Amino acid sequence: MENRKSAKELRVIAEGIRLVTLQELEGFGSGHIGGSMSIVETLAVLYGGELRCDPGNPKWEERDRLVLSKGHAGPALYATLSLRGFFPKEMLSELNQGGGHLPSHCDRNKTPGVDMTTGSLGQGISAAIGIALGNRMNKSDSITYLIIGDGECNEGQVWEGAMFAAAHKLSNLIAFVDWNKQQLDGFTKDILDVGDLADKFRAFGWFVQKVDGHDVGAILDAVAAAKEHEGAPSMIVLDTIKGYGTFAAGVEGNHHMSFTKDQMDEAVKKTAEKLEEARAAAAAEEAARRAAAAAEEAVKKAAEPPEEQPPEKQEEPAEKAEEDEAPAEEGEDNV
């Protein structure tokens, strides 16, 4: 797409989302930190420019849509939407508050920018398929994005949906599976091992890519390839770490976990430092880009032929000018 952000610019967005998500959770002493942290980079790529939306008009009919089927990762999506301008950052204090706009799991009727109510695992894929199919019937070029969890793939509805989407060749559906290897009550391999998810979706007829889910550049390239692919829905398998970038990374019981003030303070501090490092790297990249553009322009100008100057106007001799201007003497015919 035009004006795609660079990986360094997307890294700034990702660290910003991670920091705001931590700040959103820090006052509670517990929360869905694991699954929120593992999808931060994907949200950065989507809301950094790949997902077409209008924060000033969240219900814009021609927008792309995201179904966050693993609705417990709502805190990360809320942080993203606030940074994107869908609602003021102050609203993040309403997380999990009765009567607030940010429930524990996503609710399309309460939060500006949320396209589907989710949290009942396995059902998001059906909703996303319905949206994608409806858009195709309406001849809309909107794309439907879907994020599901690897533990969620224990649900049979996921595979019914996978079969349906492939049979109907829904190439306007781009899905991600957050392969963080953990679910609510343990590691996926110990609960109900689903095996190689890439091979499974490929066998169902999907166009499948597998990438490092914390590499924004790799995710960006995968989304671009998915948009180009015709004749099948796309699945991007994100190899991630649950709780990535924080004290919750890879530890047991990190689906919804308690944390101490010291743990959270340290996580916020480290993430803020990473954000500043990312900003510095992006600024250096932009400065180098501007310098290169200026140098290229200078070379072009130097290679251009000099502009032709118009010939100088020749002045008439002073004597002739005086003769032309002299008045006729008295007695002469002034013809």
Q: Taking residues 225-236, report their average pLDDT.
A: 98
225, part of any domain: yes
Q: What mean pLDDT is reported for the chain?
A: 91
Q: Mind listing the pLDDT tens digit for each residue in 68-115?
A: 999 999 999 999 999 999 999 999 998 888 888 888 898 998 899 999
Q: Mind listing the pLDDT tens digit for each residue in 26-62?
A: 988 888 999 999 999 999 999 999 999 999 999 999 9
CA distance readout (Å), 131 to 65, 112, 122, 174, 289: 8, 18, 16, 12, 40
Q: The domain containing residue 218 runs over which residues?
A: 7-284
Q: Mind listing the pLDDT tens digit for each residue in 289-334?
A: 899 989 888 888 888 877 777 766 666 665 555 555 555 555 444 4
217, part of any domain: yes
Lowest average pLDDT, out of 20-29, 126-135, 166-175, 239-248, goes to 20-29
Return all residues near 125 (Cβ < 8 A) that are at least 6 apart: 67, 69, 146, 148, 157, 158, 161, 162, 165, 175
304, part of any domain: no
Q: Taking residues 139-165, report their average pLDDT.
A: 98
328, part of any domain: no
* CATH number of domain containing 82: 3.40.50.970
- Whole-model pTM: value is 0.87
Provide the number of structural domains found in the chain: 1
3-state helix/strand/coil string of 220-231: HHHHHHHHHCCC
